[in-house]
A and B are shown apart, each in its own frame.
Chain A
Amino acid sequence: MSIEISNIQFGYYEDGKNTIDGANAVFAREKVTVLTGKSGCGKSTLLYLAAGIYPSNAGFLRGGSVRVEGEDPAAMTPPVRCRKVGMMFQNPDLQFCMDTVRNELIFTAENIAVDPAEIPARLEAALAFAEIEYLENRRLNTLSGGEKQKVMLACLYLLDPAWMLLDEAFANVDDASAKQILGKLLQLHEDKGTGLLVVDHRLEHWWDIADEICLMEDGKIAKTICPREEGAKASLQAAGVQVGRDPYPGIVSLRTGILEEGTACMPDTDVPALTLSHLSVSHEKGHPVLTDINATFYQGGIYAIVGQSGCGKSSLFGALSGLYKYEGGALLGGAGSTGSGQVEIRRMKRADFGRLGFVTQSPQDQFLGGTVRQEVMAAFKKEPDAEARSEQILRHIGLWKYRDVSPYLLSQGQQRRLGVAALMAYPCEVLVCDEPTYAQDRENTIAIMESLCRGAAQRGATMLFSTHDRQLAEDYADKIYTLEGGTLHE
């Protein structure tokens, strides 16, 4: 009744180094186990090996073995394997292949050859378990991240696997939905004895529940900690793992530091940089996601926007970055601002494009292709010192040795650093960041927030960012706005 991993040697490239290098572990079904560690330590890779997804889909297993309940998951056919291990993935958008919730559940039941006469009852039970009966006939592409994960939970309930493996499943889910899903998973664990093996770099959801926390470092399981042990928290924090709502260094100390260097501009609360008045956005006619947004963001200020998933954060940021059409006003610049006058965002001309910078949830969305160096140079490639300047920037963010590599081949953290650096090469007045720290570990989160805030402070730019992490909002923003019911509240 366990998942056994013995002396695994696994790498993604034939001649590259091993991502998992001699990992050994036994995960018992009666325990809730969390695998944690910094980005790139190999925790997701280990989970995919345990789920039998690797090496058949990617990479090379050079040694060792994986056994789920005594059998090799990679040797099982998918219909057999999914009764042993069910997966919940990080990206809720790429888990479904049908159009509606009902059809997806039917597809899942058909895969494991459920008798058609039994399907309606099984479907009803799965929807009731996940408490999503009201979503049955909704189209999957209209659901929020939290709702999609609840649908995935219903699918897993229908498959009824011996183990459930979660790969950062709450990265794109608001706290309320995460708590609800977590409660349901625990219910399965207690009632049916379903094993839970979880990968997460943030332990706040798991701290009270986990029986074991395995800390991974450099492709190995460095230590196994019981959260109830004395000093458990401290030893994890020392390894750079975010245990609960640990405070971040924050904007205050950062601003003081930059001020001492003499390069910062303090926020100026008299000069508006971005004014939103009666802004509304609808994706479907007659169903506005945002109804009446009114707010003024002042020059040099840092603002956080928080809210439940599905509240319209991405719609607001999408409207500001030109992705969605909006009604009402979004005025860039203000009387006395440093920019070249006021302009309505939807009427921006080419000369104004650089005034509004944006950082997307996935750094890949920003890449223009080519190489790492071209990515940074895109801003100033016609200037005479372009080569030298790009070298300076890349050395500063530690990516100089990857200068001729495609940005898509970098790790998540490196991609994020490159994205921010490329953007900082522009003299933007307002910086709009949609979940800039999405799925990043604590170390990367701090590095990203610092580079964004530093960049903004040095040029006196206004910064707006959205986040699911309340602590991050409290520590880095001058003012926090909550998006609820289609409007923005302070």
Chain B
Amino acid sequence: MSNINPSCKLVGLIVLSFALAFCHHPVLNLGIFAVCVLLILFSDANKKAFFIPMIPVVILAVGLFFTGYRFTNAASDVVNMEVLHVGSSQIWNGLIFASRALVYAGIGLMFALTTDRIRMVRSFHKQLHVPQVFAYGLLAAWGLLPQMMLEYKRTRMAFRARGIRVLPFSPSLLVTLIVKSTRWSEELSIAMESKGFAAQSQRTMFEPEHVKAGDWIFLAVTCVILPVIAVLFFR
């Protein structure tokens, strides 16, 4: 999965997500979710980064299942043992809700975990014609994130050392962080410029991202075959 061109992967998965929005079939959703999980597990992606975000998703899916299960009947019905009686249409309805949460999380995580961000930016620039200043600006900002996390902790400690208790995300913490981020981004843009980077200039591209036969097959599967199957057999 990590060999697929990132732009093709993005377009294919967005089209597939749209197609799924019009289908209400848990078998289809769960099937695609299972494929996503298998692709993640058999890729070189960090497995922990998959399982941890899945915890809240599974909780959400269980919650949605019971919502769908309970509200198959008219919303004004009173909850009693009779309503909780197991009926196959209720389970089906619950599964539709729950499987949607799972399939969208699966698709999103598969993209995030199997895509190298440097390749992604190069591909967005070449295939989707995203301006290079946005593409590389995005990468530089990404590089700042660990420093911002550390800075956030450092500012909290500074408050603590003065005996002042602050809540997470309190405005006084965030103001300090915003001031610093602005300064950092200024310094970073100067450093990028001094290495010859400019918004308009012509750059060469080492190892450019190409659209290969495998990428076309991926696009055909996600944009044509799967949506057609979904519409024909799972509406």
Q: Name A residues whose Cβ lies closer than 8 Å to a Cβ of B.
A: 51, 53, 57-58, 77-79, 81-83, 85-87, 89, 91, 93-99, 103, 106-116, 119, 140-141, 155, 159, 321-323, 350, 353-354, 356-358, 360, 364-369, 378-379, 408, 422-423, 426
Asked whether A323 lies within 8 Å of B157 as measured between CB atoms, the reply is: yes
Of the residues A94, A95, A365, contact of B154 by C-beta under 8 Å: A365
Question: Would you give the 0/1 interface string for B135-178, flagging 1 where the beta carbon is closer than 8 Å to chain A?
Answer: 01001100100110011011101111111110000001001100
CB pairs A–B below 8 angstroms (22 shown): A79-B196, A82-B194, A82-B196, A97-B191, A97-B192, A98-B139, A108-B195, A109-B204, A110-B206, A111-B201, A111-B203, A116-B204, A116-B208, A141-B146, A321-B161, A350-B163, A354-B163, A365-B158, A368-B176, A369-B172, A369-B175, A369-B176
- Taken together as a complex, chains A and B put the C-alpha atoms of A365 and B159 apart, in Å, by 10
Chain A binding site: helix, strand, loop or mixed by DSSP?
mixed
- Taken together as a complex, chains A and B put the C-alpha atoms of A369 and B162 apart, in Å, by 13
> Would you give the shortest CB distance from A209 to chain B, in whole angstroms?
23
Assuming the A-B contacts A82-B196, A113-B202, A368-B172, are A323 and B153 also in contact, with contact meaning beta carbons closer than 8 angstroms in the complex?
Answer: yes
Q: Name B residues whose Cβ lies closer than 8 Å to a Cβ of A.
A: 117-118, 136, 139-140, 143, 146-147, 150-151, 153-155, 157-165, 172, 175-176, 179-180, 184, 186-198, 200-208
A91 / chain B contacts, CB cutoff of 8 Å = 187
B154 / chain A contacts, CB cutoff of 8 Å = 323, 360, 365
A111 / chain B contacts, CB cutoff of 8 Å = 195-198, 201, 203
> Would you give the shortest CB distance from A145 to chain B, in whole angstroms?
14
Asked whether A99 lies within 8 Å of B143 as measured between CB atoms, the reply is: yes
- Taken together as a complex, chains A and B put the C-alpha atoms of A159 and B197 apart, in Å, by 12
B150 / chain A contacts, CB cutoff of 8 Å = 323
> Would you give the shortest CB distance from A231 to chain B, in whole angstroms?
37
Of the residues A83, A115, A379, contact of B162 by C-beta under 8 Å: A379
> Would you give the shortest CB distance from B120 to chain A, in whole angstroms?
12
A356 / chain B contacts, CB cutoff of 8 Å = 161
Asked whether B162 lies within 8 Å of A426 as measured between CB atoms, the reply is: yes
- Taken together as a complex, chains A and B put the C-alpha atoms of A118 and B117 apart, in Å, by 24
Q: Which 6 A-B pairs have the closest CB atoms?
A: A97-B140, A111-B196, A82-B196, A78-B198, A94-B187, A87-B194
> Would you give the shortest CB distance from A354 to chain B, in whole angstroms?
5
Assuming the A-B contacts A111-B195, A116-B205, A322-B157, are A141 and B143 also in contact, with contact meaning beta carbons closer than 8 angstroms in the complex?
Answer: yes
> Would you give the shortest CB distance from B14 to chain A, in whole angstroms?
25
Q: Which residue of B lies closest to A51 (CB)?
A: B194
Q: Which residue of B lies closest to A54 (CB)?
A: B190
Asked whether A365 lies within 8 Å of B192 as measured between CB atoms, the reply is: no
Of the residues B157, B172, B193, B200, contact of A321 by C-beta under 8 Å: B157
- Taken together as a complex, chains A and B put the C-alpha atoms of A402 and B77 apart, in Å, by 68
> Would you give the shortest CB distance from B199 to chain A, in whole angstroms?
9
Interface centre among B117, B160, B186, B196 (most CB of A within 10 A): B196
Asked whether A350 lies within 8 Å of B206 as measured between CB atoms, the reply is: no
> Would you give the shortest CB distance from A196 to chain B, in whole angstroms?
16
Assuming the A-B contacts A113-B204, A365-B155, are A93 and B147 also in contact, with contact meaning beta carbons closer than 8 angstroms in the complex?
Answer: yes
- Taken together as a complex, chains A and B put the C-alpha atoms of A350 and B208 apart, in Å, by 55
- Taken together as a complex, chains A and B put the C-alpha atoms of A323 and B153 apart, in Å, by 6
- Taken together as a complex, chains A and B put the C-alpha atoms of A259 and B32 apart, in Å, by 78
> Would you give the shortest CB distance from A140 to chain B, in whole angstroms?
7
13 additional A-B pairs beyond A113-B201, A141-B147, A323-B150, beta carbons within 8 Å, are A53-B194, A57-B190, A78-B196, A78-B198, A79-B198, A94-B191, A95-B188, A97-B139, A99-B139, A369-B179, A379-B163, A422-B162, A423-B161
- Taken together as a complex, chains A and B put the C-alpha atoms of A423 and B153 apart, in Å, by 18
Asked whether A98 lies within 8 Å of B118 as measured between CB atoms, the reply is: yes
- Taken together as a complex, chains A and B put the C-alpha atoms of A356 and B190 apart, in Å, by 38
A357 / chain B contacts, CB cutoff of 8 Å = 161
- Taken together as a complex, chains A and B put the C-alpha atoms of A78 and B132 apart, in Å, by 14
Q: Which residue of A lies closest to B153 (CB)?
A: A323
Asked whether A159 lies within 8 Å of B195 as measured between CB atoms, the reply is: yes
